[in-house]
């Protein structure tokens, strides 16, 4: 069950990933849905304790590495592994019009816009071609679920053709 967000919760703050982009693309490629992962996802759904254990690991690793906010529909493979949910406006399809001339966030000027960080990471890793295909709106019913399981079971709003293209521009 998703945790309730208090009305007074502070705005998210853009977070610079702690893992290099090339490593992220390589690790991400290991999680691309296939028969094995679909089987794991279905099995975990039948075993809530296993599901919760995986979700705890996923959320902990991704929070430490990317500032993950547990949206349940992970966009990282298409955003240079910079989490768009750390944008104060939680924009999932590119930066707002308020990015400062020096690349600073409109809300936190001392921090670089997470979308610029993501593009720079994707370009440096040779993966700019796969950067930020259009993402669907966030399905709030999925917030607080395991994004990995939702990815494997194709419940994260990624249309089938895009799923295969997620890593098309990724370094080998």
Min separation Cβ 22 and ligand SF4, Å: 18
Cβ nearer to ligand SF4, comparing 62 with 167: 62
The smaller minimum CB distance to ligand SF4, of residues 85 and 117, is found at 85
CB 122 within 8 A of CB 131: yes
| 25 or 66: CB nearest ligand SF4 | 66
In the bound state with ligand SF4, the residue whose beta carbon lies nearer, of 64 and 168, is: 64
User: What's the CA gap between 148 and 32, in Å, rounded?
Assistant: 9
Q: Are 15 and 112 in contact (CB under 8 A)?
A: no
- The phi, psi pair for 93, rounded to 5°, reads -130, 30
CA dist 95 and 109 (Å) reads 14
Instruction: Tell me the Cα Rg of the chain.
Output: 16
Q: Output 30 or 101, the one with its CB closest to ligand SF4.
A: 30
Residue 5: CB minimum distance to ligand SF4, A: 13
Instruction: List interacting residues with ligand SF4 (CB under 6 A).
Output: 62, 66, 68-71, 74-76, 83-85, 147
Structure tokens at 28: 């991400």
Nearest distance, CB of residue 101 and ligand SF4, angstroms: 27
Smallest separation (angstroms) from ligand SF4 to the CB of 64: 11
Residue 72, CA distances (Å) to 12, 48, 98, 136, 147 in order: 16, 16, 27, 13, 4
Residue 146: CB minimum distance to ligand SF4, A: 9
């Amino acid at each position: 069950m998703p945790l309730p967000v208090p009305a007074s919760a502070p705005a998210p703050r853009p977070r610079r990933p702690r893992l290099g982009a090339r490593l992220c693309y390589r690790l991400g490629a290991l999680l691309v849905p296939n028969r094995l992962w679909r089987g794991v996802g279905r099995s975990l759904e039948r075993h809530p304790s296993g599901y919760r254990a995986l979700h705890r690991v996923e959320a902990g690793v991704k929070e430490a590495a990317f500032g993950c906010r547990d949206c349940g529909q992970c966009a990282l493979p298409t955003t240079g592994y910079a989490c768009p949910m750390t944008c104060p406006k939680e924009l999932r399809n590119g930066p707002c019009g308020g990015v400062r001339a020096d690349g600073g966030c409109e809300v936190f000027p001392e921090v670089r816009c997470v979308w610029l960080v993501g593009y720079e990471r994707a370009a440096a890793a040779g993966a700019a071609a796969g950067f930020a295909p259009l993402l669907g709106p966030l399905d709030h019913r999925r917030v607080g679920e395991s994004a990995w399981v939702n990815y494997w079971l194709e419940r994260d709003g990624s249309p089938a053709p895009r799923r295969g293209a997620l890593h098309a521009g990724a370094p080998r």
